[in-house]
Structure formats: C-alpha cells, structure tokens
Amino acid sequence: MKQEKIRLLFVCLGNICRSPSAEAVMKKMVKDAGLEDRIEIDSAGILGYHAGEQADQRMRSHASRRGYKLESILRPVTTRDFFDFDYIIGMDDRNLADLRQMAPDQESVEKIHGMMDFAGNGLYDHVPDPYYGGAAGFELVLDLLEDACRGLLDTISSNPDN
C-alpha cells in the first residue's frame, strides 16, 4: 500500500516574507534528503492582501543568496487547508491564535503548530516579521527557519506514523 504524502502548510500574516521562505527552505531540505515523493509543502497568509503576487523582493534576494528559490504565488489560508494539510505551522503567536480561530473543528486545531516549536535554538519563541526592518531582519528569519525546518524534518522523519 502506497503511503500518502505528508502535507505541510506554513503560515504568516501576509504570506510575503516568512511563510514563503519557510516553504522554500523546507522544499530544499526535503529535496536534499530525497523525500520529495513523501512530503508536500505550501504556504499561505492569514490575510489575502497580496494574493496572486510573488514574495517580497527583499526576502527573495536574501533567500537567493543562500540557494533558496521563493517561487510560490501568495494566497490566503482557506477552510479547505485545514482538511488538506497534516501540519499547519504559524510563525508567531498572532498567526497561531488566528489559525485556531479559523479552524473548523478540534481535529484541525490539533494540526496547528508554532514554527519555533521545532527549532533547536531556544533563543526565539517566534519568527519575527522582517517586513519593516532592514537586511539583518531578513537574515535572522532565514537563520531561524533553517533551524526550525531541520527540526521539523527530523520530527517528520522520526515519526513512525509518517
């Protein structure tokens, strides 16, 4: 019997910096681990202001320097996502609260996790929004996402139910 893919959805406020970056970082790690046939990855935003657009140019530029391609087209979270994804991962407490409020049932609430819950670095409990800051903020986001995505991949890989 063929095992179904594990589906991950990364979520931030506008889906323009953090969640598309998490998607790109995780896609590269999954590809490098040879798990593309087992893990599917997407991103979305709480708000749909930027739907149909590409990720923030500054974020794309910083990510590109590390070998990541932010290719996703931005979209808002939908009710369907709670049924389609196994892990719904918010970047900060506001995202998590919004996701819990949007969740259609308790089973959906149980799919919601904080990004930094998977990180080995205990210095941050959320991924800060770099949108209104400078270059250092974008680099910090990538540092945090690399750490947390490694932890998430380890979590998924070590779970016998996956």
Known catalytic residues are 12, 18, 129
Quote the CA–CA distance of 4 and 116 in Å, as a whole number. 26
Sheet-wide strand order for 6-12? 39-45, 6-12, 87-90, 112-114
- Could you give the C-alpha distances from 58 to 10, 16, 62, 82, 83, in angstroms and in order? 19, 10, 6, 30, 32
For residue 158, what are its two tokens? 């070590």
